């Protein structure tokens, strides 16, 4: 809530900053915002895009199930994504898989078009 006194003047450009306490985990769809004041409202307008990964896909070489701990089924999994923004070299990419999947500490990397 923002109090504006003595009101808003016709044709004048206003700017203000507000703190968003927490962003959602992904850009909402639809991602529209609106402003209202004294029973007047704006047409919904497009919000900002969150820094995130888009075009996410995951593909497994096969979907065979392991039957025992001693006879684990190995699988090559390809993760593809597009970062919304450039990320400087030296960052750490963390992949979290559901319970039961085991990922080696050292993994390979590659880039695609």
Whether residue 77 contacts residue 59, with contact meaning beta carbons closer than 8 Å, is answered with yes
The pTM assigned to this predicted structure is: 0.50
pLDDT of res. 46: 93
For each of the chain's 113 residues, which pLDDT tens digit applies?
A: 677 777 888 888 888 888 888 888 888 899 999 988 888 889 999 998 887 788 889 988 888 877 777 777 788 888 899 888 787 777 777 888 888 888 777 666 666 55
pLDDT of res. 112: 58
Q: Is the bond preceding 5 in cis, omega lying within 30 degrees of 0? A: no
What phi, psi does 16 have (nearest 5°)? -150, 160
Helix H, strand E, coil C: the string for the chain is CCCCCCCCCCCCCCCCCCCCCCCCCCCCCCCEECCEECCEECCCEECCCCCCEEEEEEEECCCCCCCCHHHCCCCCEEEEEEECCCCCCCCCCCCCCCCCCCCCCCCCCCCCC
């Amino acid at each position: 809530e923002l109090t504006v006194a003595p009101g808003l003047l016709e044709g004048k450009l206003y700017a203000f900053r507000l703190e968003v306490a927490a962003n959602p985990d992904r850009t909402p769809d639809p991602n529209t915002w609106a402003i209202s004041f004294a029973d007047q409202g704006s047409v919904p307008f497009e919000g900002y895009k969150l820094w995130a990964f888009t075009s996410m896909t995951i593909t497994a070489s096969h979907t065979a199930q392991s039957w025992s701990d001693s006879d684990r089924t190995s699988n090559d999994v390809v993760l593809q994504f597009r970062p919304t923004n450039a990320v400087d070299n030296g960052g750490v990419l963390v992949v979290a898989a559901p319970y039961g999947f085991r990922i080696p500490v050292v993994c390979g990397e590659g880039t695609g078009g």
